Structures are given as C-alpha cells and as structure tokens.
C-alpha cells in the first residue's frame, strides 16, 4: 500500500512539473511570436536604432561592456534578408510550440508523440547551430527542451495508463 501511495504522489509531482514546464514553454513561445511579429514590421535600421537606444546607458557607463557591445555589433551586421529569416524562424517556432503546448495542456493524448518528435527536431537543430556557432543560450534551450521531453514522456505514459484503467473499469 505504501508503494502505491508513493507512486501516486510521484505521478502528481511529475504532473505538476509538466504543467509548470508547459507554462514556461508557453511564455517562451509567446515571446518568440512577439519578437517575430515585431521583426516583420521593423526595418534593419530601426532594429539597430532600438538596440543602441536600449543599451545606451550601459555603453555610457562602460563603453567596453561585453554584452552590450557584442549585441550592438551583431545587430549592426543583420541584413534585411537575415532579419526576415529570423522573424519567420521566431514566428514559426513560437506558433508551432504554442499550438502543441495548448494541445498538451488539454491532454490530447495523440499530440504527445508529435510534440516529443518536434522538440527532438528542435534539439537536433539547436545542436547543429551550436556546432556552427557555440552559444550558452543554445545549451540553456536544449537542456530545457530535454527536461520538457522527459516530463512529456512521463505524462504521456501516465495518461495512457489512466486511459487503459478507465477502459478496463
């Protein structure tokens, strides 16, 4: 009996952790959609002006500020074509994730394998990008995606078990 209670408590914790990860990923998706939409309507020059204004205080205090100077330098090299690619990437990535996350929140069992597969593809792409241009953000996103996939697999198993139990009763 004690083992069963522990197992159910564990399942409940995993469920809440999965729900929390959906909310975190949902927030991330919303931010990506907003960034993508803004990038669609702002010019490369407008983006540069926005970023330089954003970091102007940092540069005034420390003209060699590592983060500010690198971001401004990176933004200054963005061409209109690259800006459109980044906008489309953020919009599509955010919309795909948000759609899947809504389905997972509603416990649409058929979406779990699809969502897991999509997030595995995101990880593969992030690994590819990391090989080309290493970034701490890519590591961070990949670790979050791995945790999310692990929680999604556990949640999927529990939902399937629950459906089987429900069907047999």
State the total domains in the chain.
Answer: 1
Residue 9: per-residue pLDDT: 67
Q: Any long-range contacts for 5-12 (C-beta under 8 Å, 24+ apart)?
A: 11/158
Nearest CA among 50, 83, 78, 56 for reference residue 69: 56
Chain-centroid distance, C-alpha 77: 25
pLDDT for residue 3 = 35
Q: Tens-digit pLDDT profile for the chain (169 aa)?
A: 333 344 566 678 888 999 999 999 999 999 999 999 999 999 888 888 989 999 989 889 988 888 889 888 888 888 888 888 889 888 998 999 999 999 999 989 999 999 999 999 989 998 998 898 888 888 988 998 999 999 999 999 988 888 787 777 7
Tell me the pTM.
0.73
Q: Can you give the residue range of the structural domain that contains 66?
A: 2-168
C-alpha to C-alpha distance for 89 and 27, rounded to whole angstroms? 17
């Amino acid at each position: 009996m004690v083992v069963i209670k522990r197992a159910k408590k564990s399942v409940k914790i995993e469920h809440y952790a999965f729900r929390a990860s959906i909310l975190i990923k949902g927030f991330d998706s919303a931010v990506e959609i907003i960034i993508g939409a803004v990038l669609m309507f702002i010019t490369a020059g407008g983006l540069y002006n926005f970023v330089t204004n954003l970091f102007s205080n940092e540069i005034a205090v420390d003209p060699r500020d590592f983060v500010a100077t690198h971001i401004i330098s990176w933004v200054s090299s963005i061409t209109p074509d690259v800006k459109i690619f980044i906008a489309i990437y953020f919009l599509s990535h955010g919309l795909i994730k948000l759609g899947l996350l809504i389905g997972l929140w509603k416990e649409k069992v058929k979406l779990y394998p699809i969502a897991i597969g999509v997030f595995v593809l995101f990880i593969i792409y992030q690994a590819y990008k990391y090989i080309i241009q290493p970034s701490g953000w890519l590591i961070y996103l990949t670790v979050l995606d791995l945790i999310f996939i692990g929680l999604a697999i556990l949640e999927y198993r529990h939902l399937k078990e629950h459906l089987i139990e429900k069907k047999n009763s």
